[in-house]
């Protein structure tokens, strides 16, 4: 009975449920169109629109429009950074308009500061911020090249056009008199990394033989000679497309949290994290061509033979140079190099996991043949939120760089200097290395053969990794521990084939291995009390340990040119072996206080202890304080609706610089006696440097006053800063009395001051749904003065290898030169002027044997530091089109045009090629020209020998080749078109969310009075103190590129 009743109930329920199901209507699915606007009626570009509880999602285009497949009753969730999330139930309307309200709290929390974050409106320090979009339209393979001209107070110089070459970064002027101590600290995702500078990034190699560049001939004319090493750019290991934002800390309050490394500024790089949406796959591909921005105008073979034959006739020497052959060596070794760059990234998130994965391939060969550059990078950023209290994460990036362009600069230089009346090969097909039909010339130079037959490469690897764990026991307190490492390694190799003269036939290999360990522990307190008081405090501990090792071996005498292994050389040697280490331990704190959203105060204190100093001076503290006042929150300004935000701020504090201190500069240094002397069979040690237990930190006191303001519904923003920086106790190797037994010792001997003004503006005159136009501008001015220099050595040439001048009361590193006064139009001889303005045809440098000090004839001629610099940006968007142009400029900087000097140097036995300017040399009385007659009174000769000729006009120690290097450069021009999202989704069946194509030009135009090719180069690499020299340095690249961005 019960069984039959159960069966009846079961079939009755099944029948009624079938009827209920049959009565439910089938959900209608349609293609929904909509637009997302903010409360000002402007499009919210990139807003995410997704269906709740599904994976269906899309994003708004440049006009805020979107399309998505949805059914009646589905819930749409709309989100975007800086706006409050929005939910809406779809009710079958074909077109919807969504208005998102700005989330002021979210908008304010966007600024990264040292060891934490701070609301942008509450920042009381001087910080420049550069977003991923700001660097997206450049062709730079490293982010430092991408930020040129984009941040006030930050002067960036690309040293040359060689791929992977060093870049110099100076923030608010020279920070130290040490040639390599002016680079800022670079922090990537919280980990201080090995930055720029010759010390850790130089690789020794054997370049092709460079022609001597007749640099005068006396002991006072110590001109620059080509280097035999390559300074790499370590920042090229980071893929710029992985960067989310760059914050540049400039004043003491911002930098003192980094204590002993903050004096030269701090650059914080934050890489991309997972997007707050469903998984997104992005692919970008760029290809194009690279070529030099210009080429010098050189003599052809016939002109070359004519000029040299005439010169030797004028000095009464019988030397023959035959015409008939015209080889353009520079054209033979240059090319339109094909560039490629591919980036692939995957990002996404869920309630607990946030991830970003990326990989990239860069192929950016030099415009010098067979000098290539390739880079491979990979990155994984992963965050896991286990609960509201606990989270953890890791960032891992790896890179491999294969740079075969080490010798590009030497080949470029040699191709310019090689005599053009010599063929590349002889009749038998062999490369011609000798002087050919010429009376004089270089015996071992063939740029084409050097490019094609020699082997040069530098392989670099870097692993940058960090792991953090974060615990939040209560809502206001966060504990965070972080461990990171920067491991870099490099292997450089050069092999030169044997020349007919016997020169070459050698190889050298060098290796580096650097490892840095970093530990950061912080305790962060965030609390708002009664809506009036807000506190953001950090207490922390940091530890760093660095291990650095390098070595190089060489060999010569190989059985044939195909053998590469140095072990097979008949003669082998060790040219360098180095191991060293240092450690830094730190304790720091910071507290920021806000009262009623208008009154701001902050205090920072850090104590650093460094192994580079003795225990007498090992630990030192760096305090700073700041105040701010948001006037826009006061009642007396509330009535002015056009003022969105107005804040005045000021800071004072201290930071340090331990870069100038050598690793063991405070300790005595010894070496084994060179004469093999011993005592009781024990080698005798000789002291090379006495210890200095009182050697202490360089210390910088900074004062900054600034204004931050936005007006007219954020259409106009203005930031202005005035600063002054006093640097004390600068470290230099100073002469000591000889009776002590040593020549010099590192000492704290100098004080210096920098002061300046910075202005940054952004204005959007047009901002509608379809059209937007934004203008950006920044300019900086820095004034430097050397306050004191207790230096017992030479004042001249204190900046290592560069001919700069140091004197109290003057700017540092000025050019100190003999005064070239032009050409006498009646005699064709150079005119020289002394300090008193007296003119003479006798070159002062030739009087070194007749006067006590020929340097008394020199004068100060200014500095390579610009008087003002900055950038101008212009972005116009119309519907799916966007045009972006950016120009950088530099005003008032000086440059020694050594390239022009080399190409007007003919009085040497190398008989190098010359500029076509030489054809305008003085010939007859009354001839107005700046080129003297070939045989003039500033050239001294001895009959019968070219090696006895001395040309004082070509020396870099005179002002003849000092030029104004001011410029305005169209750095980037980018035109992009984004395919209509609606049409794209229809054609791709919703598989492609975004498709953008673009064309790009880089370094297209340069407006300058500089007579060289490129006013931005620096023959001394990354050194700011030694900048201002162009020695036939490879000019930068001009790029023409096309590309595509795809989002899936």
pLDDT (tens digit, 9 = 90+) per residue, 802-822? 467 788 888 988 898 899 999
What are the b/e assignments for 398-428, b being 16+ CB within 10 Å? bbebebbbbbbbbbbbbbbbbbbbbeeeeee
Q: Which residue has the higher pLDDT, 51 or 431?
A: 431
The answer to whether 245 touches 130, Cβ cutoff 8 Å, is yes
pLDDT (tens digit, 9 = 90+) per residue, 32-44? 888 888 876 778 8
Mean pLDDT score, 676-686: 68
pLDDT band, residue 925 (cuts 50/70/90): very high
DSSP secondary structure letters along 361-372: EEE---SBTT--
pLDDT(1023) > 60: yes
Q: What is the mean pLDDT of the chain?
A: 85
> How far is residue 456's CA from residue 300's CA, in Å, rounded to a whole number?
30
Token pair belonging to 91:
């009710």
pLDDT band, residue 317 (cuts 50/70/90): confident
pLDDT(825) > 90: yes
For residues 745, 746, 749, 753, the Cα torsion angle rounded to the nearest 10 degrees is 150
The answer to whether 544 touches 584, Cβ cutoff 8 Å, is yes
Q: Which residues have CB under 8 Å from 296's CB, separation 6+?
A: 330, 416, 899, 903, 915, 1013
Q: Report pTM.
A: 0.87
| 1041 bridge partner residues | 288, 1000
627: Cα separation from own chain's centroid: 32
pLDDT of residue 212: 29
pLDDT band, residue 278 (cuts 50/70/90): confident
Distances (CA, A) of 604 to 197, 238, 277, 596: 29, 30, 37, 22
Catalogue the E-assigned strands of 72-126. Answer: 75-79, 86-89, 95-100, 111-113, 116-118
The answer to whether 188 touches 516, Cβ cutoff 8 Å, is no
Mean pLDDT score, 532-538: 94
pLDDT of residue 247: 94
Task: Give the distance between the most distant pair of CA atoms in the chain.
Answer: 138
Token pair belonging to 892:
């008032």
The answer to whether 115 touches 518, Cβ cutoff 8 Å, is no
Share of the chain above pLDDT 90, in %: 52
What are the b/e assignments for 89-117, b being 16+ CB within 10 Å? ebeeeeebebebeeeeeeeeebbbbbbbe
pLDDT (tens digit, 9 = 90+) per residue, 364-390? 999 999 999 999 999 999 999 999 999
767: Cα separation from own chain's centroid: 33
pLDDT band, residue 1022 (cuts 50/70/90): confident
pLDDT(697) > 90: no
Nearest Cα to 830, choosing from 929, 914, 899, 919?
A: 929
As a whole number of Å, the end-to-end CA separation of the chain is 63
Q: Which domains does the chain have, with CATH numbers?
A: 24-106 (2.60.40.1120), 127-196+233-295+334-407+454-661+697-813+864-892+967-1047 (2.40.170.20)
pLDDT of residue 923: 94
pLDDT band, residue 74 (cuts 50/70/90): confident
pLDDT(617) > 90: no
Distances (CA, A) of 37 to 47, 97, 993, 1022: 9, 8, 19, 47
For the chain, the C-alpha Rg in angstroms (whole number) is 33
The answer to whether 363 touches 1041, Cβ cutoff 8 Å, is no
pLDDT(673) > 80: no
Nearest Cα to 725, choosing from 788, 655, 669?
A: 655
pLDDT(20) > 50: no
Lowest-confidence region among 178-182, 294-298, 523-527, 917-921: 178-182
> How far is residue 406's CA from residue 460's CA, in Å, rounded to a whole number?
13
Q: Which residue has the higher pLDDT, 1033 or 681?
A: 1033
At 306, which helix (H) or strand (E)?
helix 301-314
pLDDT(351) > 90: no
The answer to whether 910 touches 440, Cβ cutoff 8 Å, is yes
pLDDT of residue 800: 40
Q: Which residues have CB under 8 Å from 409's CB, separation 6+?
A: 160, 162, 165, 1033, 1034
- Residue 302 backbone dihedrals phi, psi, to 5 degrees: -70, -40
pLDDT(211) > 60: no
The answer to whether 487 touches 514, Cβ cutoff 8 Å, is yes
pLDDT band, residue 660 (cuts 50/70/90): low
> How far is residue 826's CA from residue 428's CA, in Å, rounded to a whole number?
51
Lowest-confidence region among 19-28, 258-267, 644-653, 722-731: 19-28
pLDDT of residue 798: 45
Three-state SS string across 786-829, please? EEEECCCCCCECCCCCCCEECCCCCCCCEEEEEEEEEECCCCCC
Mean pLDDT score, 976-995: 83
Distances (CA, A) of 210 to 328, 409, 912: 17, 10, 11
Q: Which residue has the higher pLDDT, 303 or 949?
A: 303
> How far is residue 597's CA from residue 630's CA, in Å, rounded to a whole number?
8
Nearest Cα to 949, choosing from 994, 995, 987, 905?
A: 905
799-808, 883-892, 945-954, 956-965: which has the highest mean pLDDT?
Answer: 883-892
19-23, 429-433, 1037-1041: which has the highest mean pLDDT?
Answer: 1037-1041
Mean pLDDT score, 345-357: 91
> How far is residue 1023's CA from residue 199's CA, in Å, rounded to a whole number?
11
Which DSSP symbol is given to 557? Answer: -
> How far is residue 174's CA from residue 829's CA, in Å, rounded to a whole number?
39
> How far is residue 1010's CA from residue 287's CA, in Å, rounded to a whole number?
31
> How far is residue 114's CA from residue 323's CA, in Å, rounded to a whole number?
66
pLDDT (tens digit, 9 = 90+) per residue, 180-190? 778 899 999 99
pLDDT(271) > 70: yes
Which DSSP symbol is given to 298? Answer: B
pLDDT band, residue 17 (cuts 50/70/90): very low
Nearest Cα to 951, choosing from 846, 856, 1035?
A: 846
Q: Strands 599-610 and 939-940, how do they pair?
A: unpaired
The answer to whether 347 touches 1048, Cβ cutoff 8 Å, is no
41-50, 156-165, 494-503, 799-808: which has the highest mean pLDDT?
Answer: 156-165
pLDDT(943) > 50: no
At 570, which helix (H) or strand (E)?
none
Token pair belonging to 881:
């089109």
pLDDT band, residue 952 (cuts 50/70/90): confident
Three-state DSSP at 628 gives: strand
pLDDT (tens digit, 9 = 90+) per residue, 742-789? 667 778 888 999 999 999 999 999 988 888 999 999 999 999 999 988
Q: Which residues have CB under 8 Å from 215's CB, separation 6+?
A: 221, 222, 223, 224, 225, 905, 954, 955, 956
- Residue 429 backbone dihedrals phi, psi, to 5 degrees: 85, 10
Nearest Cα to 134, choosing from 1037, 1036, 778, 767?
A: 778
- Residue 705 backbone dihedrals phi, psi, to 5 degrees: -125, 130
Mean pLDDT score, 1041-1048: 94
Q: Which residues have CB under 8 Å from 315's CB, separation 6+?
A: 935, 939, 941, 949
Token pair belonging to 43:
């499009």
pLDDT of residue 542: 96
pLDDT(669) > 80: no
Three-state SS string across 227-294, please? CCEEEECHHHHCCHHHEEEEEEECCHHHHHHHHHHCCCCEEEEEECCCCCCCCEEEEEEEEEEEEECC
| 713 bridge partner residues | none
> How far is residue 631's CA from residue 536's CA, in Å, rounded to a whole number?
21
pLDDT of residue 689: 63
> How far is residue 251's CA from residue 127's CA, in Å, rounded to a whole number?
8
Q: Which residues have CB under 8 Å from 517's CB, separation 6+?
A: 483, 484, 485, 543, 544, 545, 546
> How far is residue 153's CA from residue 384's CA, in Å, rounded to a whole number?
38
> How far is residue 1040's CA from residue 876's CA, in Å, rounded to a whole number?
21
pLDDT(13) > 60: no
pLDDT of residue 670: 61
């Amino acid at each position: 009975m019960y069984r039959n009743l159960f069966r009846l109930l079961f079939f009755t329920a099944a029948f009624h449920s079938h009827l209920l199901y049959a009565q439910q209507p089938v959900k209608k699915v349609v293609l929904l169109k909509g637009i997302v606007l903010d409360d000002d009626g402007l499009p919210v570009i990139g807003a995410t629109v997704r269906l709740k509880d599904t994976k269906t999602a899309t994003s708004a285009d440049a006009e805020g429009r979107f399309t998505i497949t949805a059914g009646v009753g589905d819930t749409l969730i709309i989100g975007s950074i800086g706006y409050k999330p929005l939910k809406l139930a779809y009710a079958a309307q074909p077109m919807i308009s969504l208005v998102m309200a700005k989330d002021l709290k979210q908008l304010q929390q966007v600024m990264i500061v040292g060891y934490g974050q701070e609301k942008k409106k509450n920042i009381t320090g001087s910080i420049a911020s550069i977003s991923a979009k700001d660097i997206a339209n450049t062709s730079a393979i490293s982010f430092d090249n991408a930020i040129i001209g984009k941040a006030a107070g930050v002067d960036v110089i690309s040293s040359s056009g060689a791929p992977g070459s060093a870049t110099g970064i100076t923030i608010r002027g020279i920070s130290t008199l040490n040639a390599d101590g002016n680079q800022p600290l670079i922090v990537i995702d919280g980990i201080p990394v090995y930055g720029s500078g010759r010390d850790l990034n130089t690789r020794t190699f054997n370049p092709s033989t460079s022609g001597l560049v007749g640099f005068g001939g006396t002991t006072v004319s110590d001109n620059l000679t080509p280097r035999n090493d390559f300074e790499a750019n370590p920042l090229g290991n980071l893929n710029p497309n992985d960067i989310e934002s760059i914050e540049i800390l400039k004043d003491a309050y911002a930098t003192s949290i980094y204590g002993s490394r903050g004096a030269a500024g701090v650059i914080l790089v934050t890489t991309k994290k997972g997007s707050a949406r469903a998984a997104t796959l992005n692919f970008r591909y760029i290809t194009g061509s690279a070529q030099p921005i210009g080429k010098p105008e050189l003599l052809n073979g016939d002109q070359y033979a004519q000029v040299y034959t005439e010169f030797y006739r004028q000095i009464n020497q019988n030397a023959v140079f035959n015409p008939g052959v015209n080889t353009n060596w520079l054209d033979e070794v240059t090319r339109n190099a094909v560039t490629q760059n591919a980036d692939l990234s995957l990002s996404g998130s869920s309630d607990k996991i946030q991830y970003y994965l990326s990989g990239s391939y860069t192929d950016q060969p030099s415009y010098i043949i067979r000098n290539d550059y390739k880079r491979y990078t990979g990155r994984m950023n992963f965050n896991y939120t286990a609960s509201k209290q606990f989270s953890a994460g890791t960032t891992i990036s790896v890179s491999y760089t294969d740079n075969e362009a080490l010798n590009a600069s030497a080949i470029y230089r040699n191709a310019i200097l090689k005599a053009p009346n010599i063929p590349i090969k002889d009749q038998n097909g062999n490369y011609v290395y000798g002087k050919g039909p010429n009376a004089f010339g270089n015996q071992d130079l063939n740029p084409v053969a050097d490019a094609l037959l020699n082997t040069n490469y530098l392989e670099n690897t870097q692993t940058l990794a960090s792991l953090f764990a974060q615990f939040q026991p209560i809502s206001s307190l966060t504990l965070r521990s972080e461990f990171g490492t920067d491991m870099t390694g490099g292997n450089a190799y050069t092999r030169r084939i044997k020349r007919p003269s016997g020169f070459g036939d050698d190889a050298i290999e060098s290796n580096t291995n650097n490892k840095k360990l970093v530990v950061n522990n912080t305790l962060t307190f965030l609390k708002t009390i009664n809506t009036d008081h807000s506190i953001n405090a950090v207490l922390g501990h940091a530890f760093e340990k660095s291990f650095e090792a390098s070595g190089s071996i060489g060999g010569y005498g190989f059985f044939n040119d195909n053998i590469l292994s140095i072990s097979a050389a008949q003669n082998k040697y060790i040219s360098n072996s180095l191991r060293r280490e240092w450690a830094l331990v730190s304790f720091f704190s910071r507290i920021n206080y806000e009262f009623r959203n208008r009154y701001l105060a902050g205090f920072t204190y850090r104590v650093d202890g460094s192994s580079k100093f003795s225990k007498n001076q090992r630990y030192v503290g760096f305090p700073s304080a700041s105040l701010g006042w948001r006037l826009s929150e006061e009642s007396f300004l509330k009535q002015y609706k056009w003022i969105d935000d107005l804040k005045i701020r000021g800071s004072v504090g201290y930071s340090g610089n331990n870069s100038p201190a050598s690793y063991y500069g405070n300790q005595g240094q010894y070496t084994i006696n060179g004469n093999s002397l011993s005592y009781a069979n024990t080698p005798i040690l000789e002291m090379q440097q006495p210890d200095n237990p009182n050697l202490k930190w360089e210390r910088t006191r900074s004062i900054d006053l600034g204004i931050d303001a936005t007006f007219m519904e954020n259409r106009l923003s203005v930031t202005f800063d005035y600063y002054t920086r006093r640097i004390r106790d600068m470290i230099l190797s100073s002469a000591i009395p000889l009776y002590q037994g040593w020549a010099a010792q590192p000492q704290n001997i100098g004080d210096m001051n920098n002061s300046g003004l910075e202005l940054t503006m952004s204005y959007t005159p047009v901002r509608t749904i379809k059209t937007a136009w934004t203008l950006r501008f920044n300019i900086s001015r820095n004034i430097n003065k050397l306050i004191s220099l207790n230096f017992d050595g030479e004042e001249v040439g204190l900046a290592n290898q560069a001919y700069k001048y140091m004197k109290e009361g003057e700017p540092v590193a000025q050019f100190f030169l003999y005064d070239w006064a032009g050409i006498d139009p009646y005699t064709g001889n150079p005119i020289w002027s002394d300090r008193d303005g007296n003119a003479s045809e006798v070159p002062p440098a030739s009087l070194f044997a007749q006067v006590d000090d020929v340097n008394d004839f020199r004068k100060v001629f200014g500095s390579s530091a610009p008087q003002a610099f900055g950038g101008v940006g212009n972005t116009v968007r119309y519907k799916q089109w966007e045009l972006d142009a950016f120009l950088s400029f530099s005003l008032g900087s000086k440059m020694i045009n050594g390239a022009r000097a080399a190409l007007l140097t003919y009085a040497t036995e190398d008989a190098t090629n010359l500029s076509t300017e030489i054809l305008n040399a003085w010939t007859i009385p009354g001839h107005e020209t700046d080129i003297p007659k070939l045989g003039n009174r500033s050239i001294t000769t001895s009959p019968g020998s070219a090696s006895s000729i001395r040309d004082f006009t070509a020396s870099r120690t005179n002002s003849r080749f000092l030029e104004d290097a001011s410029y305005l450069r169209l750095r980037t021009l980018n035109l992009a078109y984004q395919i209509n999202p609606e049409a794209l989704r229809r054609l791709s069946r919703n598989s492609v969310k975004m498709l953008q194509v673009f064309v790009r030009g880089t370094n297209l135009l340069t407006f300058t009075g500089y007579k060289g090719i490129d006013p931005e180069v620096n023959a001394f690499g990354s050194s700011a103190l030694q900048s201002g020299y162009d020695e036939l340095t490879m000019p930068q690249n001009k790029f023409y590129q096309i590309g595509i961005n795809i989002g899936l």
